[in-house]
Structure formats: structure tokens, C-alpha cells
A and B are shown apart, each in its own frame.
Chain A
Amino acid sequence: MIAVGTKAPDFTLPDHLGRQISLAGLLGRRQVMLLFYPLDFTPT
């Protein structure tokens, strides 16, 4: 798992509402919480 204090790797991924989300595009103005999870249709 990525270590606290390191720079987060950038990514651009599509979302379920047709948006292209780029991490770099969000940062600067806001902080970001990433919720990684195993699979859809499983408990959250």
C-alpha cells in the first residue's frame, strides 16, 4: 500500500455518469478521498 507522505500517482478514469475524472484536475482546489473496493454488488 502506498506510504503516507508520498506523492499520489496521477490517473484519469471514466466514471459511471460519463465523466472523465483526472486526479490532477481535482487537486489544488480540493483534497481527495479514494475509496478502493473489491467489486460492485458486494458490501461496502
Chain B
Amino acid sequence: MPAVEALRERFEAAGTQVLGVSVDSIYCHANWACDLGGISFPLLADFHPKGKTAAAYGLYLEDNGITDRATVILSADGVVRFAESVGPGGERDIEALLARCEAIADEHGRPSWTPPARRLPAGATLYVKSRCGFSRAALLARSNLHLEQSIAIKNVTEDASACEELERIAGKSQAPCLVIDGQPKHESAEIIAMLVEATAPVPT
């Protein structure tokens, strides 16, 4: 996954959206992605019903309850152009897969859509609480979107002055709270959606 993340712009230039798929939950995905140094392309949770999507592609290994390690490339018309399993313990050659994507784009037409350049406004601060799942979710999104440099962190549980500061700005000490240009935004789902929209929008 990190090898794909590193080549993200070249996959985009080849008109290719990369999606990771396994049977783990979105919470497991977010923590693992952060462990890997941040993954911004979608890691999909084929979690409930377990393995349903993998099974539709003939890639769910029912005896073990896991998904095969396999790559499927679709041209923009939704037709399978490449499908290869390396086995659960195998290793993918990401450079070779990029070359496949480029060749398929050349053969079947390079899609014209390019993601808009968007940036988070400067001077953002994320206020978080200790032992708070919602704060953790916002922190994981900050890492997975590579926003460590552009969003400062203040912990209102450990830092009394940060707590006072947040109360002054937002009128309450509820965290997580993302403050940009003095404007507070609460609720982790809304904070994460805003960060995604600013940096890694994916059409749905």
C-alpha cells in the first residue's frame, strides 16, 4: 500500500483510481493506514456482509475468512482488462501494475477527469481530547491525508490553556474541534469530510 501511495500521482495521470479492499473494518483500516505512514486512496471495508464484494470477484477464500491477494484493473467502461492473483502470501509488483494501467489507458482511452487542485487554508488547529474515539478518528484522518504539517494539534485534556482557548473560540470545550480562521467545526465525521474535500476528493 505505501508503494501505491508513493506513486499516487502517476496512477492519477494514467486516469486510474486505486481502491484497496479487504474484510477488515474501516476503523482497522484507518489505524493500519496511519501505521503505514498515511494512505489517502480509499481502503474499502468488505466487512459486512463479510467478503461479499471479494466473493463477487471470485476472490474470497471462504475456508480462511480472508481475501486473496489479487489485482483487478477495469477500463473506464467497467470491463475487466487485467486480473491476477499472487496468492495471500505473495507480493505485488506495483511498478509493473502502473505500467499495466498506463497501457490499458492508452488502449481504451485515457479518461479526461483530473482531480481539482484544492488546499486546506493555512493556520488550522485541531483540538482533541485524550481517550476519545472521535478525536482519534480525526487524528488518523489528519495522518492519512498527510496533513501533519498544515494542522496543529492541541489537547484540551492535557493542556489547560488549550482548553481555555477552545472555549473562547467555540463557546464550549467540546472536542474534537477543527478551527480554521477562527471558525470552529465540531463532529469528527464533519471534520474528516472537510479534510477529505480539501485534499483528496473522490467522486461518488
The residues of B with any CB-CB pair to A shorter than 8 Å are 1-4, 11, 14-24, 26, 28-33, 35-36, 39-40, 42-46, 52-54, 56-59, 61, 64, 66-83, 85, 88, 91-92, 97, 101, 104-105, 108, 111-113, 140-141, 144-145, 189, 192-193, 196, 200, 202-204
Contacts and interface: CB of A to CB of B under 8 A. Distances in A.
B94 to A, nearest CB: 9
Nearest to A44: B1
A23 to B, nearest CB: 8
Contacts of A2: 57-59, 72, 80, 83
A14 B14 CA distance: 24
B42 A16 contact: yes
A19 B145 CA distance: 13
B21 A37 contact: yes
A22 B96 CA distance: 26
B17 A40 contact: no
B68 A38 contact: yes
A6 B1 CA distance: 26
A42 to B, nearest CB: 8
A37 B67 contact: yes
Contacts of B58: 1-2
Interface string A6-18: 1111110111111
B128 to A, nearest CB: 17
Contacts of A38: 22, 61, 64, 66-69, 88
Contacts of B69: 36-38
A25 B56 CA distance: 18
Given A29-B112, A31-B104, A36-B68, A17 B141 contact: yes
A25 to B, nearest CB: 5
A21 B70 contact: no
Contact of B45 (A6, A14, A26, A43): A14
Contacts of B57: 1-2, 8-9, 34, 36
B144 A16 contact: yes
Given A9-B53, A34-B73, A36-B22, 11 more contacts: A13-B44, A13-B45, A15-B42, A18-B26, A20-B204, A30-B15, A32-B18, A33-B16, A33-B74, A36-B54, A36-B68
